[in-house]
Structure 1
Amino acid sequence: MRTRLRRLRIDGRDYTWRAEIGHVQGDGDCHRCVRVRVWGTGKTGCALQADLLSLTWPAPWGACAADGAYPTPEDVRALVAHGLRLGWDPGHRGGTFPLPESVTLPGFVVTARMRDPAAADPTARVVEAYERRPSV
């Protein structure tokens, strides 16, 4: 399957990004996860990376259910802004700049569990963020 690369222009700079759907195993359950990678100088540049968990809780169809949540271009703009504030250099060649779990978006929480299986179980953070989200 071919990966779709998308483009964004932010403050006069072109960024390329993609999002891949996967899953993260929690201590007692499984979460649908979307890995977002953003490049400022093409795919040879340092990639900004965020692993996003949806705030759809509880999953109505069981563990690792497809809840349909997917990052929008506005979400990616917010990730780029967070990355730049934290020191990501989109002009740097090579490597990965992972966003920390402290970064938040309105419909997602960032987890380190996908790249580090020993990281804290994200379930409690997802539930807490779900309960704090503004009601529609």
Structure 2
Amino acid sequence: MTHVRTRLRQLRIDGRTFVWRAEIHHVQGSADCHRCVRLRVWGAGKTSQALQADLLSVAWPAPWGACATDGAYPASADVRAVISYALKHEWQPERQGGTFVLSEYEHAAGFSLPAFLLTDRLRTPESADPTLRVIQVYERRHRG
């Protein structure tokens, strides 16, 4: 696993400060390797309940060696969307300890970002094939 760009960043939403970091990983699909960014967010300090979302890049067609060349990284607007969605779906940042996971299994149907999908593949290698999911997004976006 590759860990890059782990510096903490801040984002203010409705007068509240959230601290977040994004770590770049890669997950294997049936036909390709895909960039996956693990987003972790805290809203009440490092001992508070963390929010975690594994974001699968939907860059396709992936260039050869996509793991090294896909530059997808969440922008502040993406992080804001993740936080807003999680707050509406029972994330309690003031709770002490634990992690609230935005999982593909529970949340993918109701959540979307332009450049990312939620994935469980980083936590659970036998979860849905990321290559098939990325191809489906590409085909939906490019139908005439």
TM-score with structure 2 length normalisation?
0.85
State the match for 2:112 in structure 1.
Answer: 104
For 1:93-132, list aligned pairs within 5 A: 93-101=96-104, 102=108, 103-132=111-140
Higher deviation after alignment, 16-25 or 62-71 = 62-71
Further displaced range: 8-17 or 55-64: 55-64
Is 2:83 aligned against 1:80? yes
Q: Match of 1:117, as an amino acid? A: P
- Please, which moves more after superposition, 93-102 or 126-135? 126-135
Query: Structure 1: how far apart are the matches of 2:70 and 2:28?
Result: 16
Runs of 4+ in structure 1 displaced over 3 angstroms?
A: none
**Does the Cα contact within 8 Å between 1:32 and 1:66 map onto a contact in 2?**
no
Residue 56 (structure 1) aligns with: 59
Give the letter for the 2:43 counterpart: G
The structure with the greater share of residues assigned to helix is 2
SS at match of 1:65: helix
Letter in 1 for 2:132: A
> Share of identical aligned residues, percent?
64
Question: Any conservation in 2 of the 1:109–1:129 contact (CA below 8 Å)?
Answer: no
- Aligned partners of 1:56 and 1:90: how far apart in 2? 31
Q: Distance in 2 between matches of 1:35 and 1:4?
A: 13
Bigger Cα displacement from structure 2, 14-23 vs 97-106 = 97-106
How far the C-alpha of 1:131 sits from its partner, in A, is 2.6
Look up the match of 1:29.
32
Unaligned runs of 5+ in 1: none
Q: TM-score, normalised by structure 1?
A: 0.90
* Aligned twin of 1:43: 46
> C-alpha separation between the residues in 2 aligned to 1:91 and 1:132?
39
Mapped contact 1:106–1:133 kept (Cα < 8 A): no
Question: For structure 2, which runs of at least 5 residues remain unmatched after alignment?
Answer: none
RMSD: 1.9
Q: Deviations over 1:69-89 (max 9, x none)?
A: 110000000000110111100
Q: How much does 1:121 deviate?
A: 1.3
Give distance in 2, aligned partners of 1:16 and 1:119.
29
CA distance in structure 1 between the partners assigned to 2:53 and 2:18 by the alignment: 15
User: Could you say if the C-alpha distance between residues 134 and 50 of structure 1 is closer, same or farther in structure 2, counting changes exceeding 3 Å?
Assistant: farther
Counterparts of 1:36 and 1:97, CA distance in 2: 12
Q: Using the TM superposition, give the Cα deviation of residue 130 of structure 1 relative to its aligned residue in structure 2, in angstroms.
A: 2.3
